[in-house]
Amino acid sequence: MTFNDFQHFISELSQVPIKSIHSDASFRDDLGIDSLQMVNLIVRLTDRFGVDISKIGTMEDIDTVGKMYVYLAGDK
């Protein structure tokens, strides 16, 4: 999964413009994604990209787009 794929997926699911989705963007503060949407996003990412959500320690580990990408892409 490339970062570009990741950005597009978040944009499709959340209806947030792709230009707003960058590494430092906070899901909650910048993108307006609430906790229920985060759960849905994580579940859908698992299904679509075959990622392992057990890699995530806490929600702080994935509070920005870049942090979540690192965890789910296996770069950590």
- Per-residue exposure over 31-70, b if at least 16 CB sit within 10 Å of its own CB, e if not: bebeeeebeebbeebeeeeebeeeebeeeeebbbbebbbb
Give tens-digit pLDDT for 30-65.
Answer: 999 998 998 898 888 888 878 777 767 788 888 999
Q: What pTM did the predictor assign?
A: 0.84
Domain count, the chain: 1
CA distance 72 to 76: 9
Segments forming the whole domain that contains residue 51: 3-14+21-73
30: DSSP letter: T
Per-residue pLDDT of 10-21, as tens digits, reads 999 999 999 999
Q: Cα separation of 64 and 8, whole Å?
A: 15
CATH number of the domain bearing residue 52: 1.10.1200.10
DSSP, collapsed to helix, strand or coil, labels residue 36 as helix
